[in-house]
Amino acid sequence: MDGGADATGDVVTALARVRPAIRYLRNHGDRGKGHAVAVGIAASQGTVLAQIDGDLQFLPEELPRLLAPILSERADLALGSRFLPGSCRAPGSVPGARSAGNRAVSAFASVVSGHRFSDLLAGMKAWRREVTRAFRWESDGFSYEAELPIKAVRLGFRVVDVPITTEQRRAGSSSVPVLRAGLALARDILRFRLRPS
């Protein structure tokens, strides 16, 4: 999935020529991360879906770890967690303010939903297609990170956290403003938990 202006499309198109399982989607009219994920879901064909951020902080080779509880019928949604025992965080991979903000948002979501989340905002997750078929997708932006797990819990799906590795970002920087995004997420968490889907 590509909605940017860099060379991602060229790289993926070249890979798709030698690996037929890879499909390149140009996300015209991109309205944010949540919108991009929704477009990817609509274009997908599998019964189990996965999402991983493209900033190279999360390791694609750890996807089987995330899929394991789903494929063994123990979970419907698996969230990568940088803060569980067994996780591995490279120095500088989760800066202090972002770590504190993430923990605060995860704690708030845990209280509101009645389900313990250790890392609501990690950019690596997998789920059964039935999960995202069960509710109306609302978030075009960053709040989708909370929408998916909060609505899944509310609808009775089994949600688990799985320890993952986090590397330092190799290029670019996050454009998410910690305080403003945190306040918006808190508002949206309440909305996703309380409002009919």
The DSSP secondary structure of 9-33, one letter per residue, reads HHHHHHHHHH-TT----B-TT---H
Please state the domain extents for the chain.
47-194
Give the pTM.
0.88
Does residue 121 contact residue 143 with C-beta atoms inside 8 Å? no
What is the pLDDT tens value at each position of the chain, 197 positions in all? 555 567 778 888 899 899 988 888 887 777 888 998 999 999 998 999 999 988 889 999 999 999 999 999 999 999 999 999 999 988 877 777 778 888 999 999 999 999 999 999 999 999 999 999 999 999 998 899 999 999 999 999 999 999 999 988 765 556 666 678 888 999 999 999 988 66
**Can you list the positions of beta strands (E) in 25-156?**
48-52, 77-81, 88-89, 124-128
Collect all residues with Cβ–Cβ distance below 8 Å to 14 and sequence separation of at least 6. none
| Superfamily, domain 47-194 | Spore Coat Polysaccharide Biosynthesis Protein SpsA; Chain A (3.90.550.10)
